[in-house]
Every structure is written in C-alpha cells, then in structure tokens.
Amino acid sequence: MSMPTQDGVFLWQDEAKCGGQKTSLFFDNETKAKAFCIGCPVMAECLEIALVYNYQGVWGGTTEKERRKLPIKDTRFLREEYQESGFYNPALKV
C-alpha cells in the first residue's frame, strides 16, 4: 500500500522513471507516456494509486480506458482497504 507524505506526494514517486517530466505528457501523448512506464521500478504502486483515486491520464502503464476494464470488485476492494487503513486521503481525489 502506498503511503502519501503530508504534502500528498507518494514516497515511491522519487523512484519513478517519469520524475521531472511535464505532467501534460501523461494526458496528451499516450504512446510517449507509456514509454516511461516500461521497466519503471514503481509501476505497480503507480497503477494502485490510479485505481484507488480514479485518476485520469496514463498511470502505471495504463490508460483510463484500460483501467476501467479491470475487475470492479478488485478495484472496490483496494479502495476499501485504503480507507480502512487510514492511508486514504480524500484531498487527493480528482
């Protein structure tokens, strides 16, 4: 489970290959965005956060459309797990 720091940045983000890139890339150019995800050491954590907070754009090597195809019960369970653990931060919800 990915724990955010107080400012809403997740601890794993320092290790992301995409660090320092303009965020618009992950909304405007799916192909280039996904290229950053290949071999990223924190791809799973990134995908997890996108599922929990229902983020838009490319996260964890997936698009919104691809994430919507994932089993709903698994996504719901993951969100509930975050809420019960106290790690869920409603301020990060888009």
Instruction: Report the candidate in 4, 35, 68 with the shortest Cα–Cα distance to residue 43.
Output: 35
pLDDT at 26: 92
Query: Strands (DSSP E) along 3-93, which ranges?
Result: none
Amino acid letter at 40? C
Per-residue pLDDT at 36 exceeds 80: yes
Number of domains the chain is built from: 1
Which single residue is written with the structure tokens 């618009």? 24
What does the pLDDT read at residue 3?
59
Higher pLDDT, 35 or 6: 35
Give, as one character, the DSSP assignment of residue 36.
Answer: H
What is the pLDDT, as a whole number, of residue 7?
56
Quick check: is 74 in a domain? yes
The pTM of the full predicted model, rounded to 2 decimals, is 0.78
Q: Do the domain assignments include residue 92?
A: no
Identify whether 63 is part of a domain. yes
Residue 53 lies in a domain: yes
- Asked whether residue 94 is assigned to any structural domain, the reply reads no
Find the domain containing 66 and state its range: 13-87
Decide if 10 contacts 2 (C-beta within 8 A).
yes
Which burial class, exposed, middle or buried, applies to 76 when counting CB atoms under 10 A from its CB (0-12, 13-18, 19+)?
exposed
